[in-house]
Chain A
Amino acid sequence: EDKVVQSPLSLVVHEGDTVTLNCSYEVTNFRSLLWYKQEKKAPTFLFMLTSSGIEKKSGRLSSILDKKELFSILNITATQTGDSAIYLCAVVTSYGKLTFGQGTILTVHP
């Protein structure tokens, strides 16, 4: 059975802090790993990672994948209240199945 595990499940920080969200996985025929941000309804795409060791950046967010150790991290620097959301990690297998982790609930206080 494919498994994706995120940690921590919830995190409370203050504006300006840096956070690191973790995602580990055990799947058959790994193809790619995706990060999403979900605020109210549909998840919003952040990153797609397919190769180990190559950091992807978008503003204050960055992510990297380690295919040997089967994990990924999502970093958010200089957090803002608008970063408060559920962050979802998902893994795609070669058959196209998309499996999500439990999500990390991030709360950023002013």
Chain B
Amino acid sequence: DGGITQSPKYLFRKEGQNVTLSCEQNLNHDAMYWYRQDPGQGLRLIYYSQIVNDFQKGDIAEGYSVSREKKESFPLTVTSAQKNPTAFYLCASSKDRGSYGYTFGSGTRLTVV
């Protein structure tokens, strides 16, 4: 079955460490997205990519980095520069710039300890 796989589901990180969240899709979607969600709030866009080797900053890109070397993969690195990284992170993908909707992964919950 096609879908998006995010791993790990739960991640604990010490302050000052970088950590990379994985997002893989086998839907042949061109576009991929990373969102952050804080408790009881909506989703805020971190980065998105419409094609391989190209990506754009979203509304809250500071302290994060991404790469898009393959169509199927869009990893997100949370760097030590991100002041408040504890959050729920969702990855999504779409085909034809969202004409057919968006598919979401099941998320990664990152906790800084």
Contact = CB atoms under 8 A, between A and B. Distances in A.
Contact of A105 (B31, B40, B102): B40
A98 B33 CA distance: 9
A10 to B, nearest CB: 8
Given A34-B102, A41-B107, A43-B104, A98 B94 contact: yes
B78 interface: no
Given A31-B97, A41-B106, A96 B50 contact: yes
Interface string A33-63: 0100000011101001000000000000000
B42 interface: yes
A88 interface: yes
Interface residues of B, number: 26
B44 A100 contact: yes
A75 interface: no
A94 B98 CA distance: 9
A42 B50 contact: no
A86 B40 contact: yes
B45 interface: yes
Interface size class of A (residues with CB under 8 A): 20 to 34
Interface in B65-113: 90, 92, 94, 97-99, 101-102, 104-107
Contacts, number: 64
Given A42-B90, A98-B102, A88 B40 contact: no
A97 B59 CA distance: 11
A74 to B, nearest CB: 14
Contacts of A92: 97-98
B42 A88 contact: yes
A48 B99 CA distance: 9
A32 B106 CA distance: 24
Given A34-B101, A96-B94, A98-B33, 11 more contacts: A10-B40, A41-B107, A45-B101, A86-B40, A88-B43, A96-B31, A96-B48, A98-B45, A98-B92, A98-B98, A102-B41
